[in-house]
Amino acid sequence: MEKALNSSEILPSKSSQVLSRNEAESSKEGDNSKRQWEKRVGFVLVHAGAGYHSESKAKEYKHVCKRACKKAIEKLQAGDLATDAVTAALVELEDSPFTNAGMGSNLNLLGKIECDASIMDGKSLSFGAVGSLSGIKNPVLAANKLLCEGQKGKLSAGRIPPCFLVGDGAFKWAVDHGIPTCPQDIMATKLSLAAFKRNKRKLELAEKVETDFIQYKKRRQSSEKENDSGTLDTVGAIVVDQDGNVAAAVSSGGLAMKHPGRVGQAALYGCGCWAENTGVHNPYSTAVSTSGCGEHLVRTILARECSLALQAEDAHQALLESMQNKFIGSPFLANEESILGGVIVLRSCRCSTKPSSADEKQALLGKWVRDSYREVMMFGNSEGNNSTQHLTNILFWFLNRTDFIFSLQWNFYGVIQQRVCALVTCQRRMVKPRRTFLGYLRVQ
């Protein structure tokens, strides 16, 4: 790629007096290729949830995150919309039996899979979501279809098109609009069925001893220790396309052994994801995807709150204060003993300045690695030496009620082709099993 961008090989030397027709056409094609390549600027960040992830499956989690990024990047390179790219990323995550979304999701009390998903387009501010949806392998496809259909305008007789559907109504609508179905016995994998049987035995045992509080408490603590291989939370992605438009999406199978019909933050407006392009009142484009305990995220409308915080000049400090005051210390969660929530956020804007050299751009990646090596295991590379139109700040947050676990801010110029895989692990003070937050990001 660098060879194709070398001006000495695209244009003739100064000593040449006349260009042949073939040389002129070759030069024109080279310029067009250069402009086209320069335009293909995009960013993708995905996460596989903030639940209990087995260390033995860390490799599979990283691989599925990498594949999700690759699918989204392919969409961006083809010139597709940010919503198409973020949908492609989540489809890959939902198809994995290791994530709690789509295939292999947690089963509810009746042994049935019910999924939630939502997507938001920062350009149009359109939103689509499905909740408690069964029989659909990729609920994010149904959510995206709702978003697209809603953008077409009113239905016959002036009816308002839906943006959020649940249960049987959501399933019938999805089938009518060509979304592929999948039987329950196929969606429930060996891993999810084994987890359901194990959790069901624990629940039955707990109910037998619930009159004895001490025994119940001991068994509950033991259950938490043994459940470190289960997945609990939402998967998500945020995307910036080549035109600077942002999009965000989330998908989740919900809590294990949840009550049938329960809908979590992954399907609710302003709670699971948020995306908003720059505008008159917004100097920055923002995208947010959340993960954690759905009830906590719903009662604090966390995705929307984080987006508002990102509009501040000092986004890092504003986001920290917002997470502390409006989530960790929120009066709506005052009676909760343990609060769990995490977000991936992105802020971008048009940038008038740019690095003066490839070395300076290489240093941007190097600074991120040096500043974070104590908390992150990663690998990455960087190549390319072109300028870009966007400067983006990425901040990772993973917090609980007692302390600030992890934060990362990285400034980059988008035409740098880089791939960074991050595995963040943390030890919660209030729960003994270790929690992991898995993510993969890629710039193209």
Query: Which residues are designated catalytic?
Result: 234
Six-digit token string for 29:
């094609």
- Going by C-alpha positions, the residue among 182, 334, 200, 322 that lies closest to residue 256 is 200
Q: 3-state SS string over 252-311?
A: ECCCCCCCCCCCCHHHCCCCCEEEECCCCCCCCEEEEEEEECHHHHHHHCHHHHHHHHCC
Instruction: State how far the Cα of 72 lies from the Cα of 91, in Å rounded to an integer.
Output: 10
- Going by C-alpha positions, the residue among 11, 52, 37, 19 that lies closest to residue 384 is 37
Task: Specify burial of residue 288 (Cβ count, 10 A radius: 0-12, 13-18, 19+).
Answer: buried
Task: Find out whether 189 and 103 touch, Cβ atoms under 8 Å.
Answer: yes
The dihedral over CA atoms of 254, 257, 262, 265, expressed in degrees to the nearest 10, equals -30
Instruction: State how far the Cα of 61 lies from the Cα of 44, in Å rounded to an integer.
Output: 16
- Going by C-alpha positions, the residue among 145, 96, 152 that lies closest to residue 117 is 145
Helix, strand and coil in the chain, % to nearest 5: 40, 25, 35
Q: Rg of the Cα trace of the chain?
A: 23
